[in-house]
Amino acid sequence: MQKIRKAVIPAAGLGTRFLPATKAMPKEMLPIVDKPIIQYVVEEAVASGITDIIVITSANKRSLEDHFDYPYELEKKLEEAGKIDLLQEIRRIAGMANFIYVRQRGPYGNASPVISAKHIINDEPFAVLWGDEFIHSNPPRLKQMIEVYEEYGKSVISAVRIKNKQDVSKYGIADVEPVADEIFKIKAIIEKPKPEEAPSNLATHGAYIFNPDIFKHLANIKPGKGGELWLVDAINALMKENDVYAKEIKNGEYYDTGDKFDYLRANIEFALKREDLHDKLITYLKTILK
């Protein structure tokens, strides 16, 4: 079985939920404390064994490429100033993986960036992780999924339980059949169902592992809602001829950092994990809560 070494990160969206902040700045570069969102996604992939990161971009996304590059002038300044810790961190970011950048082609929709990466994927299994959301977990979400792929050899989608029943209408909810502990075979994915029509509370989204046969189905899907190409349509077609599994992520916390409240929550929670910020932030939060 081929090892999964490539990950596609779609980052071509307009970031309209965060306007005007994203008018000239990619939403994926918004910081969680002092690290951009997309770096958390890349670090998860690398910690899971990925060596090649394929970022699907569009206009005004140059800062994504710059972030994962070697900035000679900055490195020189940090070295001269004796800021060795920062220098090492800047070099670590650039050296984490092989970075490949591809401009998105075709209609809008979350299937388009995957289609745009086809010529780089070739005949290998690969991962897809969105560039503006992530699950913080130990072991990493993608590593948990790769273990399922290596056991069953089938496509795998990450899954989380939606605690509030009313929130199921925000996600693709899976109709599933249990296979093993926290592993399910997906019978269907219902996009944003009404709470009373949801087949479960298991949301399948955020990260995917595909065999290359997904491209056959991506080539045949038609524009759907909003005239866009939807990845779920290709997945549903794939499930008619091959099994697709869901891996419920354990020890994980999901952050949809494209949502304003979740973005703020992520900043607060990650700041509280840091020794240099924890006590100051706790004191401040207690003060404003009075």
* Total number of residues shown for the chain: 290
Q: Classify the phi-psi angles of 66: left when phi > 0, otherwise alpha if psi is within -120 to 50, otherwise beta.
A: alpha
Which residues does 253 contact at the CB level (< 8 Å), separation at least 6? 135, 136, 137, 269
d(CA 66, CA 63): 5
Q: Please write the tens of the pLDDT for every residue from 91-139.
A: 999 999 999 999 988 777 888 999 999 999 989 999 999 988 888 888 9
Contact in structure between 237 and 220 (CB atoms under 8 Å):
yes
> Is 263 contained in some domain?
no
Domain that holds residue 107: 6-258
> Is 272 contained in some domain?
no
Q: Please write the tens of the pLDDT for every residue from 21-45.
A: 888 889 999 999 999 999 999 999 9
> Is 31 contained in some domain?
yes
Domain total in the chain: 1
> Is 175 contained in some domain?
yes
> Is 28 contained in some domain?
yes
**Structural tokens at position 93:** 């970011």
Alpha-helix runs per DSSP H in the chain: 37-47, 62-67, 72-80, 84-95, 112-116, 118-121, 141-152, 214-218, 231-239, 260-272, 278-289
Secondary structure of residue 227 in the 3-state scheme: helix
> pTM for this structure?
0.91
* CATH code (residue 41): 3.90.550.10
d(CA 45, CA 97): 9
* Chain Cα centroid distance, residue 227: 23
Q: What is the pLDDT of residue 2?
A: 85
Contact in structure between 237 and 231 (CB atoms under 8 Å):
no
Q: What is the pLDDT of residue 107?
A: 72
Count other C-beta atoms under 10 Å from residue 86's C-beta. 15
Q: What is the pLDDT of residue 166?
A: 80
Give residue 88's pLDDT band: very low, low, confident or very high (50, 70, 90): very high
> Is 276 contained in some domain?
no
Q: What is the pLDDT of residue 195?
A: 84
Q: What is the pLDDT of residue 110?
A: 86
178-211 exposure pattern, b = at least 16 Cβ within 10 A, e = fewer: eeeeebbbbeebbeebeeeebebbbbbbbbbbbb
> Is 271 contained in some domain?
no
Q: What is the pLDDT of residue 205?
A: 81
Largest CA distance in the chain: 63
The pLDDT of 244-270, averaged and rounded, is: 90
> Is 284 contained in some domain?
no
The residue among 250 and 215 whose pLDDT is bigger is 215
- DSSP designation for 247: E
Give residue 171's pLDDT band: very low, low, confident or very high (50, 70, 90): confident
Q: What is the pLDDT of residue 275?
A: 95
Q: What is the pLDDT of residue 122?
A: 86
Average pLDDT, the chain: 90
The pLDDT of 198-206, averaged and rounded, is: 86
d(CA 84, CA 34): 18
* pLDDT for residue 227 is more than 80: no
Q: What is the pLDDT of residue 284?
A: 95
